[in-house]
Chain A
Amino acid sequence: MDESSYWNHPTSHLLGSVPAVVNEESEASYGRRGGGGRGYQTLGPPTEGFDQQSQNNWKGVFSISSYTQYFDVDTDVVVNRLISSFYPAGGDFFNKIGANPDLYGLIWITTTLVFMLAAFGNCATYLIQKRTDRTTSWSFDVGYVNAAACGIYGYSLVVPVAFYFLLRYLGSNASLVRFLCMWGYSLSIFIPTAFLLLIPVEILRWIIILIAGTASSCFVTLNLTSYIGGSNDLRMMMIAAFLLQMALAIFIKAWFFP
């Protein structure tokens, strides 16, 4: 009976008090110590649940099972989100994510983009040099891989985290995982762009990257606006997000496809 009360209704002791995870944990731990040996043994399965709650601070970082909730997507869901990220118009990405944001998109889109930039950047550099100087031979610059990895991974991690902290500081609710998810999917439009930037005509390259950068920036800005609710003092945030995404696009063009 003791364990059923702990397992099913841990908050029955907290009627009238402000519920918090902290209270629940301390209640459980007091109960466990009070129950003595018998309580400890019979609380076998419920202990796991409480363990996860009491360990949500730091030990959960090191076990894989605490991260599987962010990868709970199927193939068709991921493809759906990818396709919706190509259309900057609708600002409903956060509704589409719903209660199930995923980090799968972030990780593998950024990794694919790193590889594409390194590979196609080398090809495009070679093609442009070939046009101006017939005698250049192919050389593979491994530094492109390093630059791409630092640039793309750095951007996709730092910018959402910075926005999360800034928006929290300014009072609006923000969810880190959703921000990471959205920014990750916003980079997906650069993958076909990297392929198109192989065309060795300079004007065309600039047009392509400007279109892609604008699309991606609009995607980010519109979704951010619809999630937070546009109020005047948060307008600076939206403009900053737009400019940062454009800066990333320009950086991609200038560094990898000169």
Chain B
Amino acid sequence: MSNSHSDTIPLHPSSQSDIDEIENLINASVQSGPATVLPARPPSPPRASIPVSSSPFIQSKIPPPPPQSSSSSNHKVPSVPAAPPPPPPVGNSSSIVATGFGPPSNTLTEPVWDTVKRDLSRIVSNLKLVVFPNPYREDPGKALRDWDLWGPFFFIVFLGLTLSWSASVKKSEVFAVAFALLAAGAIILTLNVLLLGGHIIFFQSLSLLGYCLFPLDIGALICLLKDNVIIKMIVVSVTLAWSSWAAYPFMSSAVNPRRKALALYPVFLMYVSVGFLIIAID
């Protein structure tokens, strides 16, 4: 149903942006939010046969529901002021996100693949900033300005699944323990820094701690495939050191230098316990 929109995409991108411009003007004049363009809402025949510009007249009488509820894309609306303005520097701007408009309303009408591609590229770029050596690492403010929570979510679930897969008994309990440990651990670590008087943004810190799990994910995957204890210990130690090195600059710069060890010790504890879980699960 939502794909009926594809029937109305013209061949030339500039005419689509014109149609969007008209659409926005109509929406603005009828004094409803830009989210009234809901592809899923109206019955499909009028949308398929009539060009896009006339259907908003029908829709705008309906009070717009919150955009997240029926949006066909999985675009997450950032609610923290730390989020950058919507056209991210790394996103592949699809043909619909015209540079003059900026507001995320246009992303509601884009194909799902565009949204997914944009989120994936953001995950990759965040990963490159946090986990791999790059010149921006020393400045935490610049490092994760475009934070998101999809990456950490994928990494935590992947780690839980890998551990659960390599366990021979009590698989669901292993997944529960791993997931709870990582999720609660990230929140508690962030609260710890805030309580020690440090200055971080809550979700940015959650995002960073999730991204720093990426090396441990690789370690868990290797340990799943190779079952030798010695190799497991070596792999886990290396990935543990890598994770700690990734998280160190961010955490240590967030607090008073006299309390640096107090803020870093729990991070180390959490990664060591996850590493032990990886080695010990058989």
Residue numbers of A with Cβ under 8 A of B are 64, 67-68, 70-76, 78, 104, 107-108, 111-112, 115, 119, 122, 138-143, 145-146
> Of B174, B177, B276, B282, which contacts A138 at CB under 8 A?
B282
| CB proximity of A101 to chain B, nearest CB, Å | 14
Q: Is B173 an interface residue (CB 8 A)?
A: yes
| CB proximity of A199 to chain B, nearest CB, Å | 20
Q: Are A122 and B197 in contact (CB under 8 A)?
A: no
Q: Are B174 and A139 in contact (CB under 8 A)?
A: no
Nearest neighbor of A138 in chain B, beta-carbon distance: B282
Q: Is B194 an interface residue (CB 8 A)?
A: yes
Residues in A with CB closer than 8 Å to B280 are 119, 122, 138, 140
Nearest neighbor of A74 in chain B, beta-carbon distance: B258
**A140 to B259 alpha-carbon distance, docked (Å):** 35
Q: Are A115 and B169 in contact (CB under 8 A)?
A: no
Nearest neighbor of B266 in chain A, beta-carbon distance: A108
> Of B195, B256, B272, B282, which contacts A64 at CB under 8 A?
B195
Q: Are B269 and A112 in contact (CB under 8 A)?
A: yes
Interface CB pairs A-B, < 8 A, 19: A64-B195, A67-B195, A68-B195, A68-B196, A71-B195, A71-B197, A73-B259, A75-B262, A76-B258, A104-B195, A108-B269, A111-B269, A115-B276, A119-B273, A119-B276, A139-B168, A140-B280, A141-B170, A145-B177
Q: Is B261 an interface residue (CB 8 A)?
A: yes
Q: Are B174 and A142 in contact (CB under 8 A)?
A: yes
Residues in A with CB closer than 8 Å to B196 are 68, 71, 104
Nearest neighbor of B256 in chain A, beta-carbon distance: A74
Q: Are B273 and A75 in contact (CB under 8 A)?
A: no
Main secondary structure on A side of the interface with B: helix
| CB proximity of A64 to chain B, nearest CB, Å | 5
Residues in A with CB closer than 8 Å to B265 are 108
**A142 to B173 alpha-carbon distance, docked (Å):** 7
**A17 to B197 alpha-carbon distance, docked (Å):** 38
**A115 to B170 alpha-carbon distance, docked (Å):** 19
Q: Are A75 and B197 in contact (CB under 8 A)?
A: no
Nearest neighbor of A69 in chain B, beta-carbon distance: B195
**A115 to B269 alpha-carbon distance, docked (Å):** 9
**A228 to B104 alpha-carbon distance, docked (Å):** 63
Residues in B with CB closer than 8 Å to A71 are 195-197
Nearest neighbor of A67 in chain B, beta-carbon distance: B195
Q: Are A139 and B262 in contact (CB under 8 A)?
A: no
Interface mask (B241-272 → A, CB under 8 Å = 1, otherwise 0): 00000000000000010111110011001001
Q: Are A139 and B195 in contact (CB under 8 A)?
A: no
Nearest neighbor of B181 in chain A, beta-carbon distance: A145
Q: Are A73 and B197 in contact (CB under 8 A)?
A: no
> Of B170, B258, B262, B281, which contacts A104 at CB under 8 A?
B262
Nearest neighbor of B280 in chain A, beta-carbon distance: A140
Q: Is B191 an interface residue (CB 8 A)?
A: yes
Q: Are A75 and B258 in contact (CB under 8 A)?
A: yes
Residues in B with CB closer than 8 Å to A67 are 195
Nearest neighbor of A111 in chain B, beta-carbon distance: B269
> Of A70, A74, A139, which contacts B282 at CB under 8 A?
A139
**A108 to B189 alpha-carbon distance, docked (Å):** 11
Residues in A with CB closer than 8 Å to B269 are 108, 111-112, 115
Nearest neighbor of A145 in chain B, beta-carbon distance: B177
Which 8 pairs of residues, A with B, have the shortest CB-CB distance? A71-B195, A140-B280, A74-B258, A75-B261, A115-B273, A142-B173, A119-B276, A71-B196
| CB proximity of A76 to chain B, nearest CB, Å | 8
Residues in B with CB closer than 8 Å to A107 are 192
Nearest neighbor of A103 in chain B, beta-carbon distance: B195
| CB proximity of A158 to chain B, nearest CB, Å | 20
Nearest neighbor of B197 in chain A, beta-carbon distance: A68
